[in-house]
Homo-oligomer: A and B are copies of this chain.
Amino acid sequence: MDEVFKALADGSRRSLLDRLHARNGQTLNELCDGLAMTRQAVTKHLAILEAANLVATIKHGREKLHYLNPVPIHQIGERWIRKFERGKLAALSELKRQLEKRDA
């Protein structure tokens, strides 16, 4: 779980996921296209995403195809985000109450 959060912390990596979400199965060179980064930098980002199980790759001849795995993202939604959504309104109203108490 920690690896996934760490992987998602970087904007470049999130945009790589976005690109794969838009078109799955892209090669490394395709993913580099238009980015202000060297190929090797992208390789490193993809390696981190792969270690976090967010992308899976298969080699097809001399090219490496990258596929998005949305499961860890879903798990973060289920196991983490949702926890904070329950009782959200209660927390907000308490915060509001406390902030108002300050001005009193």
**A interface, CB within 8 angstroms of B:** 2, 5-6, 8-9, 11, 14, 17, 21, 24-25, 56, 58, 60, 65, 67-71, 73-74, 76-77, 80-85, 87-88, 91-92, 94-95, 98-99, 102
On chain B, the residues within 8 Å of A14 by CB distance are 5, 80
Query: Closest residue of chain B to A5, judged by CB?
Result: B9
> Which residues of chain B come closer than 8 Å to A77, judged between CB atoms?
77, 81-82, 85
Chain B contacts for A99, CB-based, 8 A: 56, 58
A4 to B94, CA, bound (A): 22
Contact of A73 (CB < 8 Å), options: B6, B74, B85: B85
Contact residues in B for A95 (Cβ distance below 8 Å): 24, 56, 67-69
